[in-house]
Amino acid sequence: MPYRTTQALVLQRSDYRENDRILTLFSPQLGRVDALCRGCRKPKSPLMAASELFTLGEYVLFTGKSKEMVQSCGVVEAFYPLRLDYERLTHAALMATACLRVIQPEEQAGHLFILLARSLRRLAFEDLPIQAVTTAFLLHFVTLTGYKPRLNHCARCGRALGEEGAYLLAQEDGLCCLSCGKDVPRHSWLSDSQLSWLRQVLVRGIDKAGELPDSLPLELLRQYAQAKLETRLPGL
């Protein structure tokens, strides 16, 4: 079967030859697909929109002798506002890079795909603070990739943490209480309100997580994801 149709998001693109691009697509069923998109840089090419970063579409792929090619594409969502705002764009790029680090060819990743598509939609079209969208994305991302942080007990003494802050430590897979954390970096501290918001995001999702904390622990979650995946993620 040389033709396959799949929904996919464009995570990466690079110019190739005079008018072509190589796209890295993220498909919920096929995982990572690197595909040649022929002629898409010609003016009036029907594949122009299909070869833009973060485009969500129904891609028809043709498997040739050595490579996969985009035959056609029905664009579902271009997430156009992401291209107009540098800050939104850098957050979307962080999410895309995180997914690129974990998806594999021919490996289903339906939940991660849904997380990314929803998060891009929130970034592009909703009023939620950008920092909150990306922090919640990273928390769900580490959870889906097998590194869910334990947010209810101190990893060192086992004590249940009530309405209090704690340190978030990648090497402990979760939290460390104030009295156990004498040796840990101060910047890994989560306040009581940050911690309770993260717990709510995990259990109920960002839309029902309630009041946002004064500041969002975005950088801390980015570092947590970096440490667990043993990879570099772009800074914000």
Residues forming contacts to Zn ion in the complex (CB under 5 A) are: 154, 156-157, 177, 180
Kindly tell me which of 58 and 192 has the beta carbon lying closer to Zn ion.
192
By C-beta, is 157 or 203 nearer to Zn ion? 157
Which CB, 101 or 156, lies closer to Zn ion?
156
H or E segment at 150?
strand 150-154
Q: Looking at beta carbons only, is 104 or 171 nearer to Zn ion?
A: 171
CB 215 → Zn ion: shortest distance, Å? 24
Nearest residue (CB) to Zn ion, 183 versus 230: 183
166-169 and 68-77 beta bridge pairing: unpaired
As measured in angstroms, the least distance from the Cβ of 123 to Zn ion is 36
The secondary structure of the chain in percent helix, strand, coil, rounded to multiples of 5, reads 40, 25, 35
- By the 10 Å C-beta count (0-12 exposed, 13-18 middle, 19+ buried), 161 is classed as buried
Closest CB 166 distance from Zn ion, rounded Å = 8
User: With contact defined as beta carbons under 8 Å apart, do 208 and 78 qualify?
Assistant: no
Looking at the Cβ atoms of 89 and 184, the one nearer to Zn ion is 184
**Shortest distance, CB of residue 164 to Zn ion, whole angstroms?**
11
Pull the structure tokens for residue 29: 């069923």
CA 31 to chain centre: 14
Q: Which of 16, 27, 101 is closest to 60 using CA atoms?
A: 27
**How far is residue 222 CA from its own chain's centroid?**
11
Smallest distance, Å, CB 61 to Zn ion? 51
For the bound state, the minimum distance from the C-beta of residue 189 to Zn ion, rounded and expressed in Å, comes to 14
Name the token pair of 170: 């990648």
Provide the pairing of β-strand 174-176 with 166-169.
Answer: antiparallel
